[in-house]
Amino acid sequence: MSRVAVVTGASSGIGEAVVRRLVADGAVVAGLARRGERLAALRAELGERFLPVRVDLSVPTRARVAMDAVRSGLGQPSVLVYAAGFGDGASLLEGEPTQWQEQCAVNVVSAAACVRALLPDFRDVGGHVVLVSSMSAHRVPCGAGMYAATKHAVRALAEGLRLELRAAGSDVRVSQVSPGNVDTRFALAPEEPSRRDFLPYAPLAAEDVAELVAYVLAAPPHVEITDVLVRPTGQPS
């Protein structure tokens, strides 16, 4: 894959694993996130095939500026993997509206803003958008109502985008990957143990999800994988 890819959420977890996987597959990758020290560590590891771009995606208007930085650093991108997201404070009885607003901005609105900023690049180069969604786009876990709302919105966003692209005669593809529990620090407080230490089953590894993203991206141009639902084998719901 000799493409320029943009990966959000590149500083940890699934996004970081996707960066490593795409670079190993031959892509040049721009990685977006807030934690500059973690992006700098990836740059030290991966060298010039990785461009760190610091951005806070809770402010969706910053997506355009970040994409300008990608273009001037690496050239025209043709892949977006949107893995930025968080789920803290999603309880509808006890969560804070400011946290809900930030969740909607990062998980949903900035995903749309990144796509919007990249579509001019994606035309005529077989562009591909992969949104890292969740099993919470397909059912609602108790206590995670706002998070599930954002992921249901991501599913609607992907379908709405696909329909608009087809109506416009575009060949840009839109895919989602919807994992169950993955062994990252997602929605865990610093003092909490890792998922593999408290779940009664083995969670997915971030690399398992990255493998699926690579599979989706490697499909031939006439194949658009719309959604991949994947759970750890032991996860009941």
> Considering the complex, what minimum distance in angstroms separates the CB of residue 234 from ligand NAP?
14
Residue of 193, 213, 218, 215 whose CA lies nearest to 203: 193
Cα end-to-end span (Å), the chain: 35
Single out the segment in contact with ligand NAP by CB under 6 A; choices: 91-99, 158-166, 167-175, 176-184: 176-184
> Considering the complex, what minimum distance in angstroms separates the CB of residue 121 from ligand NAP?
20
Q: With binding defined as CB under 6 A, does residue 42 bind ligand NAP? A: no
Maximal CA-CA distance, the chain: 50
- Residue placing its CB nearer to ligand NAP in the complex, 168 or 201: 201
User: Can 147 be counted among the known catalytic residues?
Assistant: yes
- Residue placing its CB nearer to ligand NAP in the complex, 125 or 229: 229
Beta-strand relationship, 227-230 and 28-33: unpaired
Q: With binding defined as CB under 6 A, does residue 33 bind ligand NAP? A: yes
Q: Which of 25, 49, 56, 202 forms a contact with ligand NAP (CB under 6 A)?
A: 56
> How does DSSP assign 132-183, residue by residue?
E--GGGTS--TT-HHHHHHHHHHHHHHHHHHHHHHHTT---EEEEEEES-BS
Buried b (16+ CB within 10 A) or exposed e, 191-209: eeeebeeeeeeebbbbbbb
- Residue placing its CB nearer to ligand NAP in the complex, 131 or 165: 131
Q: Which of 24, 26, 35, 219 forms a contact with ligand NAP (CB under 6 A)?
A: 35
> Considering the complex, what minimum distance in angstroms separates the CB of residue 192 from ligand NAP?
13
Q: Which of 21, 172, 186, 232 forms a contact with ligand NAP (CB under 6 A)?
A: 186
CA gap 45, 48 in Å, rounded: 10
Catalytic-labelled residue, pool 82, 147, 201, 215:
147
> Considering the complex, what minimum distance in angstroms separates the CB of residue 119 from ligand NAP?
20
CA gap 201, 214 in Å, rounded: 25
> How does DSSP assign 42-62, residue by residue?
HHHHHGGGEEEEE--TTSTTH
Q: With binding defined as CB under 6 A, does residue 115 bind ligand NAP? A: no
Q: With binding defined as CB under 6 A, does residue 176 bind ligand NAP? A: no
Binding footprint of ligand NAP, residue count (CB under 6 A) = 28
Q: Which of 185, 198, 223, 226 forms a contact with ligand NAP (CB under 6 A)?
A: 185
Grouping H, G, I as helix, E, B as strand and the rest as coil, residue 38 is: helix
CA gap 164, 152 in Å, rounded: 18
CA gap 212, 219 in Å, rounded: 11
- Catalytic site positions: 147
Q: Name the residues that contact ligand NAP, by CB under 6 A.
A: 9-15, 33-35, 55-58, 83-87, 106, 132, 134, 179, 181-182, 184-186
